[in-house]
């Protein structure tokens, strides 16, 4: 093939593509051509004569993996389909399908989604007679997920004094026992949750160094990782295992941007990308920084550059753009959240008319999903089509999950969650008490529920119903061996009675449910007819029911939300990562909202919030609008708020004057944004005390006296004007010089003030 693809790259991109051997870190700023570098690098490796099946490329979404293969194919043709490219979970699931028996799992193991996991945990909490309000299922699920991501087994968890103390203080002292039971229940059901796809793969590699680990080390000569800043401890540990060979690492390339590391709540750690250089320095490590931004205009890029400098831990880089100066950033100040919604939508309509934008060119981003309501109301009033990301997934709808449960049980009869869901749906005289008797028997005998269906000796009509159910599932399983996914799914939908059940519901809702099941069957048909290679590293397509179930189990949120229709997009900033729009609105920029109040006490969490803001503003190509409200309804009450510190971190030369603020009673004069946000830093370049949260140390209460100069993490520098109240609960009136309303009364035992020398 022609080498013309190299001519499409700038000098740094070309170096990153052609330096194929040894450990390489590509630091890719927003809009810098990251995907192009990654895909052309793989194509270049293939062009150098490396068999494509010896290349492993790990991504975070199926969409990214698909796009990667399509781009590689433009250079090397059909060979692109033989690259092992996919999400961490999808690739690791494929390996586990082949090797699962070595760690005691069936090759056709079920993949539990979040709802399955919560259902199993709820059952265990009930069996242990624990208070479900104290042992909140989401909290327990998060705790177990975190343990697995850090390679902490149930035994290690129970032996860890710090973890046990944390659970005791949270009044959830039985968490270790729940974790142990949950692990055993999954194993008994032949099921793995999403965390297990990583956790069990690590176990597989650790326990089988010669016949498994060495096999995949030899198989994958080149390993590439996309969005490396989003990896967790366990993902990086697996990658390091695979890349080692004869004691030293070979060819690994990781691509990412520390400034876009925003998934700590999912277990991702920025430390991986920060540590990569030290981990691989002895082995010829090289770094390439992609600093040219092809997405955004100069005002947006320079504002982002300045904001991120406030974070301490980062890889130094300077993003630049040659797309022209562009429009300055617009800031909307509203008196309340209702007015914010109206003014944002007013601005959208204005931009559509003035700049001829399509709805799909525009996105409204927010910190929490609950903020979407007001924007939705005004978009509807103005007849502007919109779509909210983050609603109920198609695959989480009851009728869809019901049919999928039949399909899962057909492939894996050990799957207890699927069995429980459909053993009496449609109704077949097998009530809850019967199911619980079978479950109890399974627990006593330490056997899967399926194996106990014929041993419960229930007699009469119930036993006949169970026998009929078992025979039906066995019939499905036999036919699944020789039929493709669609043929067997259509047969199951009809033979199980599920289609008839839905057809009998003649309500509008019932019709919608039937439509959803038919849409699922249409999707299975499309999967079967799709000519995309389904088995990585081979020339064989796999259109079996097992392959289909694995495919949908690993679909990510963004994969579900692809659309080409002309809608304004509403989504959280977390969901917007990797996307771009001509015009972006970032709403709710107030202290305790963005940044979140949960981040205020921890410098590293505040840094993550700033990275989140950096991601938000760098989604914009041409027009960026930031909005905030001075009051907002929260928990049923109107509460006043202050502009986010992030607004004040944008240099004033990149911001246009704010539009006139229209309140219910008056119209204020047009005011420069630097003045509006003067309670932080006035015009951004006035000298002011910069407080470093890492070194900030609150002073003892007895040191805070009238006349003392103090620092407050949020309000800045101040002077104590007066003191009142008793000695156990003193209240101080303090003048903070950088606030619009400088006098504040503060209860000192909660204030965290540091006395400073003047």
Active site residues: 34-35, 226-227, 260, 619
- If phi over 0 gives left and psi between -120 and 50 gives alpha, with beta otherwise, what is residue 412? beta
Within a 10 A sphere around the Cβ of 408, how many other Cβ atoms?
Answer: 27
Strands 286-290 and 716-724, how do they pair? unpaired
Look at the alpha carbons of 143, 148, 153, 156 in this order and tell me if their dihedral is positive or negative.
Answer: negative
384: tokens are 């502007």
Consecutive H or E run containing 640: strand 637-640
Strands 731-736 and 716-724, how do they pair? antiparallel
Quickly list H helices, 9-103: 11-18, 34-47, 62-76, 88-99
Residue with tokens 């990654």: 38
Look at the alpha carbons of 396, 400, 405, 411 in this order and tell me if their dihedral is positive or negative.
Answer: negative
**Alpha carbon distance 55, 72 (integer Å):** 12
Q: Which residues pair with 123 in a beta bridge?
A: none
3-state secondary structure 458-471: CCHHHHHHHHHHHH
Give yes or no for a contact between 171 and 89, defined as CB atoms under 8 angstroms apart.
no
Closest CA to 109 of 673, 549, 742: 549
**Alpha carbon distance 65, 239 (integer Å):** 17
Strands 55-59 and 222-225, how do they pair? parallel
Enumerate residues 6+ apart whose C-beta is below 8 A from 382: 345, 348, 349
**Alpha carbon distance 197, 178 (integer Å):** 20
3-state secondary structure 348-410: HHHHHHHHCCCHHHEEEEECCHHHHHHHHHHHHHCCCCEEECCCCCHHHCHHHHHHHHHHHHH
**Alpha carbon distance 609, 616 (integer Å):** 10
**Alpha carbon distance 174, 27 (integer Å):** 43
**Alpha carbon distance 85, 55 (integer Å):** 8
Q: Which residues pair with 388 in a beta bridge?
A: 570
Enumerate residues 6+ apart whose C-beta is below 8 A from 353: none
240: tokens are 């390091």
380: tokens are 């509807």
């Amino acid at each position: 093939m022609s080498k013309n693809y190299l001519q499409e790259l700038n000098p740094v991109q070309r170096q990153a593509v052609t330096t194929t051997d040894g450990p390489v870190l590509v630091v890719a700023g927003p809009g810098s051509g990251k995907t192009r570098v990654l895909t052309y690098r793989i194509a270049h490796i293939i062009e150098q004569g490396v068999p494509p099946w010896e290349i492993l490329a790990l991504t975070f979404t199926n969409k990214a993996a698909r796009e990667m293969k399509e781009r590689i194919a433009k250079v090397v043709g059909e060979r692109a389909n033989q690259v092992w490219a996919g999400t961490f979970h999808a690739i690791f699931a494929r390996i586990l399908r082949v090797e699962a028996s070595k760690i005691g799992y069936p090759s056709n193991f079920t993949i539990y989604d979040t709802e399955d996991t919560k259902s199993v945990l709820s059952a265990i909490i009930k069996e242990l007679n624990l208070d479900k309000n104290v042992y909140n299922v989401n909290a327990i699920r998060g705790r177990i997920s975190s343990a697995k991501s850090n390679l902490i087994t149930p035994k290690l968890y129970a032996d860890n004094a710090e973890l046990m103390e944390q659970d005791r203080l949270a009044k959830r002292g039985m968490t270790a026992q729940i974790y142990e039971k949950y692990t055993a229940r999954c194993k008994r059901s032949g099921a793995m949750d999403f965390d297990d796809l990583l956790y069990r793969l690590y176990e597989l590699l650790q326990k089988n160094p010669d016949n498994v680990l060495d096999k995949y080390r030899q198989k994958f000569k080149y390993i590439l990782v996309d969005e490396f800043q989003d990896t967790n401890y366990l993902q990086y540990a697996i990658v390091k295992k695979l890349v080692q060979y004869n004691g030293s690492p070979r060819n690994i390339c990781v691509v990412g941007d520390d400034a876009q590391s925003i998934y700590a709540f999912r277990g991702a750690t920025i430390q991986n990308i920060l540590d990569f250089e030290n981990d691989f320095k002895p082995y010829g490590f090289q770094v390439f920084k992609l600093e040219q931004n092809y997405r955004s205009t100069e005002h947006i890029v320079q504002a982002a550059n300045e904001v991120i400098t406030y974070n301490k831990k980062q890889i130094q880089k300077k993003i630049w753009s040659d797309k022209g100066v562009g429009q300055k950033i617009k800031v909307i100040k509203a008196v309340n959240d209702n007015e914010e919604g109206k003014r944002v939508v007013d601005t959208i309509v204005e931009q559509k008319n003035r700049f001829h934008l399509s709805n799909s060119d525009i996105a409204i981003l927010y910190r929490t999903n609950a903020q979407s309501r007001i924007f939705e109301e005004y978009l509807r009033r103005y007849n502007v089509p919109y779509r909210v990301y983050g609603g109920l997934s198609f695959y989480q709808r009851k009728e869809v999950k019901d049919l999928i449960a039949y399909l899962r049980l057909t492939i894996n009869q050990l799957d207890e969650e699927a069995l429980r869901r459909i053993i009496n749906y449609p109704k077949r005289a097998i009530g809850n008490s019967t199911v619980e008797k079978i479950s109890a028997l399974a627990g006593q005998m330490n056997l899967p529920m399926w194996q106990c269906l014929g041993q419960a000796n229930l007699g009469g009509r119930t036993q006949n119903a169970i026998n009929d159910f078992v025979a039906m599932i066995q019939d499905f399983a036999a036919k699944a061996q020789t039929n493709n996914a669609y043929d067997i799914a259509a047969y199951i939908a009809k033979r199980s009675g599920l289609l008839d059940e839905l057809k009998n519901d003649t309500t509008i809702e019932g019709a919608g449910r039937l439509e959803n099941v038919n849409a699922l069957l249409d999707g299975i048909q499309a999967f079967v007819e799709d000519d995309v290679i389904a088995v990585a590293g081979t020339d064989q397509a796999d259109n079996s029911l097992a392959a289909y179930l694995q495919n949908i189990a690993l679909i990510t949120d963004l994969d579900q939300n692809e659309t080409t229709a002309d809608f304004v997009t509403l989504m959280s900033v977390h969901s917007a990562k990797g996307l771009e729009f001509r015009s972006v609105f970032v709403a709710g920029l107030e202290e305790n909202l963005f940044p979140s109040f949960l981040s205020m006490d921890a410098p590293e969490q505040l840094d993550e919030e700033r990275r989140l803001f950096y991601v938000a503003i760098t989604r914009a190509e041409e027009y960026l609008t930031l909005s905030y409200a001075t009051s907002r309804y929260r928990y049923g009450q109107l509460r006043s708020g202050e502009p986010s510190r992030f607004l004040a971190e944008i240099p004033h030369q990149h911001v246009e004057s704010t539009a006139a603020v229209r309140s219910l009673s008056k119209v204020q004069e047009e005011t420069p944004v630097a003045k509006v946000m003067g309670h932080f830093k006035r015009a951004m370049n006035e000298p002011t005390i910069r407080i470093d949260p890492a070194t900030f140390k609150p002073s003892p209460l007895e040191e805070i006296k009238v006349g003392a100069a103090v620092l407050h993490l949020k309000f800045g520098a101040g002077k104590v004007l007066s003191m009142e109240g008793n000695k156990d609960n003193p209240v101080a009136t303090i003048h903070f010089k950088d606030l619009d309303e400088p006098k504040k009364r503060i209860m000192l035992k909660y204030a965290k003030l540091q006395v400073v020398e003047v």
